[in-house]
Amino acid sequence: VILLCFRRYLLTVLTSYLFWNTFGLGAATDSKPNILLFLADDLGIGDIGCYGNNTIRTPNIDRLAREGVKLTQHVAAAPLCTPSRAAFLTGRYPIRSGMASSNGYRALQWNAGSGGLPPNETTFAKLLKQQGYTTGLIGKWHQGVNCESFNDHCHHPLNHGFDYFYGMPFTLLNNCQENKPPELDVALQAKLWLYSQIIALAVLTLTVGKLTGLISVRWKIIACFALADGLFFISWYSSYGFVQYWNCILMRNHDITEQPMRLERTASLMLKEAVSFIKRNRQGPFLLFVSFLHVHTPLFTTKKFLGKSRHGLYGDNVEEMDWMVGKILDSLDKEGLKNHTFTYFASDHGGHLEAQDGSAQLGGWNGIYKGGKGMGGWEGGIRVPGVLRWPGVLPAETVIDEPTSLMDIYPTLVHLAGGVLPQDRVIDGRNLVPLLQGRAQKSEHEFLFHYCGSYLHAVRWHQKDSGAIWKAHYVTHVFHPPGAGACYGKGICPCFGEGVTHHDPPLLFDLSRDPSEAKPLSADTEPLFDTVIKKIGRATEEHRRTLTPVPEQLSLYNIMWKPWLQPCCGTFPFCWCDKEGDSTQSL
């Protein structure tokens, strides 16, 4: 009996050892957990309770933090939606996939553009699908739709490893809501309208001159000017005049269900779809990526939450999103899946400081950190909340003050699923499991590179032996007005040209002592200044040697509206439908 018990003990120990080394998790856990990812849109790190906000109520996100791990130095790979989400999905800096722009358009502008996440990129959804996961995306995509025809769907979620998609192929805009000022390319629209008016005025002047005999001009010339003006007006108004129809649509898989979408029921539809996906796939394993439309402008909020927060419409929208998080977590509990699910919550980048309506702030708060959305170097543009929970596997009420990246989720998920990372490309993310479980005390990241479009603005060095977090800024934004901390009146700060300042030597900060980046160091105030600058410079050169030329997905040609690529639920240009009907029920 003793010998039998000893043999069983040895077998248990050996099994535990093999499991630990295979998955790095522990013998009592699932080998393939369900995975639930929440990604907010434009949420500032200072907007939620567990990161210090005591005036906006986020009890459900705060509960995730209490029951799991909170990352305090979690950073996005880009300060804008399209490139940041590309990095999140692929574990790679956006410049490696062509999702970083060298022009002023740093995110996709149209559903009918030809740019997007290249089909040869391997998302975590593709790899998890190979490991037997059922994969779903609910919400915002903003990684493109078509390449050459209106239904080739080369950039579509279903072509990137997702089995199921319900949501917006684009992103929310003010244009999606009636009676809101337009948001898409406002400055260009104003110029085009001005040019149209100038040409029309010229035609009117010529016509009056001809009729009064003051100008000797042939009617054929006047007709040509009038035709040119008409064609010019139609050429730009056919796109910008119907943004709500072209961009504000909902899709289920490859089919359009609403064109244009009805915002008053969108949140309910998204929530219903997320809960339904969990219920359908409760036998697991599943990957559900809930990509919120909240809290991007126009901040459409249902009546239940309007006027309930202490921070106006923006606060209302944040609290509605938190409620949705709670409902989805409740569905996990209802299905008995809480302890079998790895859950993650983050934002795609910092809050949008320039989003204002008069004195009302419509963008997020980035806490003590300088800058915001669109700013590639400053912490406020890239430092985001990062909360992870897996009861029984990840320790509760844990805070990790080590540099981590949204790109780290890619190798972390692949590891949890028992998959293998692609060997034919550079993966910039690092597996977080050892750090999350406390088996590693330091982040695997030594350097992180902070881009604004395709322009390198700053580099972070994690000096592990001293604990210092050095950050060198090669380029910074010119704030408007000076000292304002943002580019008010410009939408977002530009990445190049007259809107930036180049620094040689670079501005240097130690984030471990100065997280607000308030006091740049110099050779006079920091003995290690020259050493640190040289070290970061060498790392930057090595990083650039790993980059290979790829087609730019956000080139001017790729981001322009092309009518032949326009998703349409009717016969173009008569694109409108409502297939949802009364399918929404109060949840």
H, E, C per residue of 131-174 = CCCEEEEEEECCCCCCCCCCCCCCCCHHHCCCCEEEEECCCCCH
Higher-confidence position of 495 and 191: 495
Delimit the domains of the chain by residue range. Answer: 34-172+249-445+558-565, 186-241
pLDDT confidence tier of residue 494, bands split at 50, 70 and 90: very high
What are the CA-CA distances from residue 83 to residues 89, 348, 432, 507 (Å)? 10, 9, 22, 25
Distance CA 567, CA 254 (A): 10
Indicate whether 256 pLDDT > 70. yes
Strand-pair partners of 346: 39, 386
Question: Among 185-199, 237-251, 542-556, which stretch is predicted with the lowest mean pLDDT?
Answer: 185-199
Give the per-residue pLDDT at 193. Answer: 84
β-strand 286-291 against 34-40: which pairing, if any?
A: parallel
Q: What is the pTM of this model?
A: 0.92
Query: Which pLDDT score is estimated for 217?
Result: 87
In this predicted structure, the answer to whether residue 23 has a pLDDT above a threshold of 50 is: no
> What pLDDT is stored for residue 234 in this prediction?
83
- pLDDT (mean) for 360-375: 96
**CA 179 to the chain's CA centroid:** 26
Q: What is the mean pLDDT of residues 65-69?
A: 98
Judge whether residue 585 has pLDDT over 70: no
Given a cut of 70, whether residue 24 has pLDDT beyond it is no
- What is the arithmetic mean of pLDDT over 146-174? 97
d(CA 331, CA 291): 17
Compute φ and ψ for 74, nearest 5 degrees.
Answer: -90, 125
Task: Tell me the CB-side half-sphere exposure of residue 388, using CA atoms within 13 A.
Answer: 25
Is 34-172+249-445+558-565 a CATH 3.40.720.10 domain?
yes
- Whole-angstrom Cα distance, residue 472 to residue 378? 10
Give the C-alpha separation, 60 to 73, whole Å.
Answer: 21
Average pLDDT over residues 576-581: 90
Q: What is the pLDDT of residues 547-562, one digit of tens each?
A: 999 999 999 999 999 9
Supply the residues annotated as catalytic.
Answer: 81, 142
* pLDDT score, position 582: 52
pLDDT in tens, 96-138: 999 999 999 999 999 999 999 999 999 999 999 999 999 999 9
Across the chain, which distance is largest between two alpha carbons, in Å? 120
Say what the pLDDT of residue 490 is.
Answer: 87
The band of 210, judged by pLDDT with boundaries at 50, 70 and 90, is confident
Residue type, 512: S
C-alpha 236/C-alpha 514 separation (Å) is 48
Q: How confident is the model at residue 583 (pLDDT cuts 50, 70, 90)?
A: low
Structure confidence at residue 20 (pLDDT): 40
